[in-house]
């Protein structure tokens, strides 16, 4: 199955994507995670991406397309993938259709995680990431084990001003993808992302018939 997780920054795409990937045995292809990896490794791509990410703007389409193309050629992606944070605009959606077409696949479903903006702004201030494993926690809603609490970091783009810009970019360029896929006849499953993580997970699994 090839599945796209859509939703605003902080809606819970990464959290649900990691759980779904494990349960469905397919990789999560998360462009944000790949860009942060490139940044940590100090590659030229990472350097180029940094100024966009720090400002909460989208990295150029050509950069992310290369990352997704590479991820799709890996053996673990041969039976499907969960796309998290990609596509983010209509041009990326069309590129993804083209990539999948080349390997005889198509998007089977969209899961749209709906969370109001004010909930998101509050939620982002509590997000923490483990730099060693990439695991994502929340100080209140998904507390980390005490023994790793000290090494957790906050993402630079989780400052309130940057979050508000990311939300504005989302509203203008990514949110229209819901209508784009609906009009293309792809099933779009809407999920209330304000409920606890396990409940959101349960509903997604049920909607997908898993
Ligand atoms: P990216 O990393 O993709 O960020 P995003 O889409 O803004 O999404 P987030 O990772 O912030 O949130 P999420 O929905 O995954 O939520 P999470 O599960 O972590 O992109 C970052 C930047 O990279 C972009 O701004 C752009 O510059 C660039 N980029 C990436 N992809 C690109 C592309 N395709 N094209 C161009 N540029 C691109 O959850 C958030 C927090 O809430 C966590 O602490 C979590 O524990 C908690 N939480 C999750 N679910 C719940 C729940 N149900 N209840 C309470 N708390 C919850």
Strand 28-30 to strand 81-84: parallel, antiparallel, or no bridges (unpaired)?
Answer: parallel
pLDDT band for position 41 (cuts 50, 70, 90): very high
Average pLDDT of the chain, as a whole number: 96
What is the pLDDT, as a whole number, of residue 210?
A: 81
Task: Say if ligand 1 is within 6 A of residue 127 CB.
Answer: yes
Q: Domain ranges in the chain? A: 2-27+74-207
User: Quick one: tokens of 165?
Assistant: 């810009």
| Mean pLDDT across 65-77 | 96
155 is catalytic: yes
Architecture of domain 2-27+74-207: 3-Layer(aba) Sandwich (3.40)
User: What's the CA-to-centroid distance between 131 and ligand 1, angstroms?
Assistant: 16
Q: Whose CA is nearest to atom 1 of ligand 1?
A: 32
User: What's the CA-to-centroid distance between 14 and ligand 1, angstroms?
Assistant: 6
Segment 108-132, tens digit of pLDDT: 999 999 999 999 999 999 999 999 9
| Mean pLDDT across 89-106 | 97
């Amino acid at each position: 199955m090839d599945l796209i997780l859509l939703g605003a920054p902080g809606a819970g795409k990464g959290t649900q994507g990691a759980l779904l990937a494990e349960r469905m045995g397919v990789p999560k292809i998360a462009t944000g995670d790949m860009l942060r990896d490139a940044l940590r490794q100090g590659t030229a791509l990472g350097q180029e991406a940094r100024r966009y990410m720090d400002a909460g703007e989208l990295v150029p389409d050509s950069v992310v397309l290369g990352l997704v193309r590479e991820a799709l050629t890996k053996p673990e992606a041969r039976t499907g993938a969960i796309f998290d944070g990609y596509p983010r605009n209509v041009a990326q959606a069309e590129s993804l259709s083209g990539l999948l077409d080349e390997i005889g696949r198509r998007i089977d479903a969209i899961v749209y995680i709906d969370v109001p903006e004010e909930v998101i702004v509050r939620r982002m201030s509590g997000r923490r990431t483990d730099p060693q494993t990439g695991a994502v926690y929340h100080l209140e809603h998904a507390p980390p084990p005490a023994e790793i609490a000290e090494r957790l970091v906050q993402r630079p783009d989780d400052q309130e001003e940057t979050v508000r810009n990311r939300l504005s970019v989302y509203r203008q360029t990514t949110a229209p993808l819901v209508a784009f896929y609906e009009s293309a006849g792809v099933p779009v499953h809407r999920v209330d992302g304000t409920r606890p993580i396990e409940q959101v997970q349960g509903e997604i699994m049920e909607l997908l018939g898993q």
